[in-house]
Amino acid sequence: MNNLDGLIETLARMPPKAGRAGIIVRLSLGLLIGTAGAAAFLLVADGLFPTGGHDGRSGASIVKLVYSISLATMAAILLVQFASPELKPGKRHLFAMTPVAVMAMIAMAELFASPPSEWMTLMFGYGVSDCVTSVLVAAPPIFAGLVWSYRKLAPADVQLTGAAIGALAGAVSAALYAIVSGDASICFVFIWFSAAVVATSVIGGLLGNIFLRW
């Protein structure tokens, strides 16, 4: 008996069982475990270091949450697609940038509707370091959960998949931060939430080369 015969006999004792939902179930599980870890961390951290300020703008917190969840949804769609070895990422995946484009337009409208003397406050006045630091610090558990999910998946491009995992981790982390933090301008949310998610994507892309190789 050669090596291949032995291998096939071993593998044949464990025929596959997963069906169509396998990818989604696995990704959901990894996301859930990672998010639970990140939420626990943020709750503890928020008790120690209260995050964000409050300016009483109605609706801004909802925008924060909706923007984060939109980014997370797009990244999740990409991750389901990137799980297959057959899929080669292409320009069509730029659809994931839709929430960014929409939010950019709303933020510009807010900016130009305000007097120039308020622009700096709109862009920087709601705790930049709290926001970016919280998102970056809460993202790793989610990233780890998603990397675990991908241990049974087969991405064709590990770097891009790492970036998408980073984006999802950053966006979910931003959504959690949006819950525990105070209100902020739409302009602030667009600039700093986007910047934080871009940062987690870049880090994810770099780590993808290490952790997603198969």
Partner 1 sequence: MSANEEQLAGLMRRARTGDGRAYEELLRRLIPLLRSYFKRRASGHETEADDFVQDCLIAIHQRQITYLADRPLMPWVYAIARHKLIDRFRSRKNSIGLKHLDEYDAAYETEAAINARLDIETLLETASPKQRAAIIATKIHGDSVADHAADARTSVSDIKVSIHRGLKALTRFARGER
Q: Give start and end residues of each alpha helix (H) in 13-97.
A: 22-48, 60-82
80-100 burial code (b ≥16 CB/10 A, e <16): ebbbeeebebeeebeebeebb
DSSP annotation of 17: -
C-alpha 199 chain-centroid distance: 10
Q: If binding is defined by CB under 8 A, does position 97 make contact with partner 1?
A: no
Question: In this chain, which stretch among 10-18, 49-57, 61-69, 160-168 interacts with partner 1, using CB under 8 A?
Answer: 10-18
Nearer to partner 1, 15 or 116 (CB): 15
Q: Kindly state whether residue 153 participates in binding partner 1, applying the rule CB under 8 A.
A: yes
Site string for partner 1, 15-34 (x = CB under 8 A): xxxxxx-xx--x--------
Q: What track of x and - describes contact with partner 1 for positions 155 through 194 (by CB under 8 A)?
A: -x--------------------------------------
User: What minimum distance in Å lies between the beta carbon of 5 and partner 1?
Assistant: 9
CA 196, 197, 199 angle in degrees (round to 5)?
65
- 152 is a contact residue toward partner 1 (CB under 8 A): yes
Q: Considering only CA atoms, which of 179, 167, 157, 172 is closest in space to residue 204? A: 167
Q: Measured between alpha carbons, how far is 63 from 67 in angstroms, rounded to an integer?
A: 6
- Closest to partner 1 by CB, 49 or 214: 214
Q: What does the alpha-carbon distance between residue 199 and residue 91 come to, in Å, rounded to a whole number? A: 21
Instruction: Using the minimum distance from each CB to partner 1, give the nearer residue, 17 or 91.
Output: 17
Which tokens in the block code for residue 209?
């080369």
* Between 70 and 149, CB nearer to partner 1: 149
Cβ 157 to partner 1, closest distance in Å?
A: 10
Q: Position 159: which residue type?
A: Q
Which residue type does 71 have?
L
The residues of the shown chain that bind partner 1, judged by CB under 8 A, are 2-4, 7-9, 11-20, 22-23, 26, 83-86, 152-154, 156, 213-214
